[in-house]
Amino acid sequence: MESRELADRITEIIVDRQGEDIVILDLTEVTTFTDYFVICTAGSSRQLDALQSAIREGVKKSEEQLVALNVEGDPDSGWILVDYNSVIVHLFSEDKREYYRLEELWKNARTIAHIQ
């Protein structure tokens, strides 16, 4: 699965699970450590946990059976990072997303999609 296809598949899973304010950033021209960020907001710690579980299960069930290289954070921290190497997923609570402002930090990246 190509990086963009993976980012799109993850975004579909987030939409299905009612994630909010979803953004895909194309980092290919900005950095070498990954191709895309998928960023979204969850309304509760329970939803954060449900989103990361759904993403990990959904991607693992794909034809390529991809497994996350690393998962950091937990629902109570307000930020969960799921690393697929070429795509890094950032799942935030509202307050953590506002605090870290990744879109602002990576403002040189091209926004591929923004689903509110």
Each domain of the chain, given as residue ranges in start order, spans 3-115
Tokens of 2: 């190509």
**Inter-CA distances, 109 with 9, 25, 48, 80, Å:** 20, 6, 25, 21
Average pLDDT in the 53-79 region? 92
**Distance between CA 11 and CA 22 in Å, rounded?**
7
Work out the number of other CB atoms within 10 angstroms of the CB of residue 94: 14
Tell me the three state secondary structure of residue 36.
strand
Q: pTM of the predicted model, to two decimals?
A: 0.95
Fold assignment, 3-115: Beta Polymerase; domain 2 (3.30.460)
Residue with tokens 């950091």: 72
80-96 per-position pLDDT tens digit: 999 999 999 999 999 99
User: Residue 14's pLDDT is what?
Assistant: 98
Note the pLDDT of residue 63.
Answer: 75
